[in-house]
Amino acid sequence: MTDNEKKFDIQAYMTRGVERIVAESIRATFKNPRESAYMVRFAAASRTAAGKREKSEREGLHIPPFLIASITSSCNLHCAGCYSRCNQATTDDEPVRQLTDEEWAVIFDEAEELGVSFILLAGGEPLLRHKVLEAAGKKQEILFPVFTNGTFINERYFELFDECRNIVPVMSIEGNRKTTDRRRGEGVYDRLMRNMDELKKRGLIFGTSVTVTTENYGEVSSEEFIGMLSDKGCKAVIFVEFVPVTEDSVSLSPGAEEREFMRDRVEKLRNEHPEIVFVSFPGDEKSSGGCIAAGRGFFHINSHGGAEPCPFSPYSDINVRDSSLKGALESRLFRAIIEVGLLKDDHNGGCVLFEKRDQVIELYK
């Protein structure tokens, strides 16, 4: 272990990261009294959660502040190059043996007890599981960003978002109308614009998730695009680098030049648009000493209960149906990935676990 590795404290890094996101969110919602009031309460809750994680750390168990929960394997869209469909995690077939509403509620209970501060709800399309979102809404000490394609947002969901301020819709968008509809389907962009207008009208916080490719990286980081989102009331932009899970989509994956461009643009956007929280994945991992998957900073529970290092690394040796959430964090696969150093930043860039998937599969066997 090098001196730098000895000095790096992942727990302190992630705690500071949670505090930064909360502080920026409070600033971003300052003109919205109801939203700011919730974020102030959540800031206090996140400090309590950090204390729980620190206690576990002293007892020998590292609890990450983030959990990604894919609550369904169903989706109504067929987005070009979707990693979830390519991995067969999302299908058009009737879901079989997915975790029930009650089982997800138990997971949320345990996450709260452990000190998890953020649970990112994903899918498939998570808005297909309304009762799971209702269960999330009851956990006010946890913030639930919901990564949605936006096509199922209706009056029922507007009311839920208003009542449960800890549920924050994060809508996927690829750039302008032409770019978004080309990947997601005709009419999706206009639906997103209508959603944003209605969310702003009701004083509800929302964010956007942007898949960054070689085709749209300039467009989605442009002042024109970000300015439009700001005018619509968007308070968070999450840039996610495209991961090519099939050979015919490799050309869409950003290379070194595009990544460097995005790093510079994100830094500039953070200075020029303080009303928006910007997160770049995996770009922001550079400052964390490498990938934060496999329980270092987050881990993934798939729709059937399997505990996976990351949605882009869909391998599991333990299921929450047979174990507690705490037990899942002690996964043999997670430990092996960390111990052999797969998460270190000694790779070409982008998603390290996807790039080193052959080594992950060997550890999984």
Q: For the chain, what is the HEC assignment?
A: CCHHHHHCCHHHHHHHHHHHHHHHHHHHCCCCHHHHHHHHHHHHHHHHHHHHHHHHHHCCCCCCCEEEEECCCECCCCCCCCHHHHCCCCECCCCCCCCCHHHHHHHHHHHHHHCCCEEEEECCCHHHCHHHHHHHHCCCCCEEEEEECCCCCCHHHHHHHHHCCCEEEEEECCCCHHHHHHHHCCCHHHHHHHHHHHHHHCCCCCEEEEEECCCCHHHHCCHHHHHHHHHHCCCEEEEEECCCCCHHHHHHCCCHHHHHHHHHHHHHHHHHCCCCEEEEECHHHHHHCCCCCCCCCCCEECCCCEEECECCECCCCCECCCCCHHHHCCCHHHHHHHHCCCCCCCCCCCCHHHHCHHHHHHHHC
Q: How many domains does the chain have?
A: 1
Q: Considering the entire predicted model, what is its pTM?
A: 0.90
- The predicted pLDDT at position 237 comes to 93
What was the pLDDT predicted at 352? 81
- pLDDT of res. 105: 98
Q: Which residues of the chain have pLDDT under 70?
A: 1-20, 86-87, 94, 245-247, 283-289, 345-350, 365
pLDDT at 8: 41
Would you state the structure tokens that stand for residue 271, as one six-digit string? 């200075």
pLDDT at 231: 97
- List the CATH number of the domain containing 293: 3.20.20.70
pLDDT at 284: 66
What range does the domain containing 85 cover?
3-364
